[in-house]
Structure 1
Amino acid sequence: MKYYNSKSVNATNILDVRSQVEAALKEEGFGILTEIDIQATIKKKLDKAYPPYLILGACNPVFADKALQAEPHIGVLLPCNVIIREIGNQKFEVSAMDPAAAMAAVENTAIEPLTTEVRQKLENVLNNL
């Protein structure tokens, strides 16, 4: 099972793409809770060069609340991660987790409709870039 969906975009730098992603997430009711700069972290911890790569922890509070009410341990699978990584000269890939794949191991039918809705919202984010 594929665990993510992605789209390539052209931009001059990763911060431009991040702004586009943040705006598209906001349109779908998501905010960014966390941000990890992999390039900076790998350089600092391993002194190794790494291409631009951001991990954004996106959360839609309405769906997070519904999921937590249905399955209290679901927090180990939250937030929905979205990555932005450089794949070439002024070309970036934006990838979003597939919540249905991530939640497949959870044996609780109450979250299935939620994962379908969140999947659609994340697909909308990618389509709107």
Structure 2
Amino acid sequence: MSTPYAFTVELGQPIGLAMETLRAALAAEQMGIVSEVDVQATLKAKLGLDSPPARLVGVCSPRIAHQLMSIDPDLAALLPCGCGVNELVPGRTRIALQDPRMIAAASGNAAVAEATEEVRAALERVVARLREAG
């Protein structure tokens, strides 16, 4: 299953290992994880709900984020790029990385579109690395 707003890939790994694999793939593109929310723990603590392992992750290229915010400081509201990591079946984790074209579409600015194409290409390489690790 794919979506028009995200790159998706499934790994035959439990969520902890998949997060390590994701970090390594991002680092190869000079990107990283700037925030991480343990959804499973949060739902349990706040609502008493049991749920499968899941993370909400903020992915960022510091260089591109700086470039985007230099073009339009209000773009900070759309950063970092979102990423969902879900272990819906034990040992099988799905990763969905936001397509940065969503930022370009929201801005309508040609300079923003150019910058997001660069990070989009990097994320495509990240997904290729993840598939190899799969």
TM-score by length of 2: 0.90
- Paired positions, count: 128
SS of the residue 1:2 aligns to: coil
* Identical aligned residues as a percent: 33
Partners in 1 of 2:62 and 2:119 — Cα distance? 11
Indicate the residue corresponding to 1:86 in structure 2: 87
Range that drifts further, 99-108 or 46-55 = 99-108
Indicate the residue corresponding to 1:4 in structure 2: 6
Instruction: Specify the code of the residue in structure 2 equivalent to 1:2.
Output: P
Range that drifts further, 53-62 or 15-24 = 53-62
Indicate the residue corresponding to 1:102 in structure 2: 103
Partners in 2 of 1:53 and 1:125 — Cα distance? 20
Q: Deviations over 1:55-113 (max 9, x none)?
A: 11111111011101111100000001222101323111011001102331212111111
Indicate the residue corresponding to 1:70 in structure 2: 71
SS of the residue 1:54 aligns to: strand
Distance apart, 1:25 and its partner CA: 0.5
Partners in 2 of 1:104 and 1:43 — Cα distance? 36
Q: Which aligned segments of 4 or more residues in structure 1 are displaced greater than 6 angstroms?
A: none
Indicate the residue corresponding to 1:31 in structure 2: 32
Is 1:14 paired with 2:15? yes
Instruction: Specify the code of the residue in structure 2 equivalent to 1:68.
Output: M
TM-score by length of 1: 0.94
RMSD of Structure 2 on Structure 1 (CA): 1.2
Distance apart, 1:124 and its partner CA: 1.2
SS of the residue 1:49 aligns to: coil
Unaligned runs of 5+ in 2: none
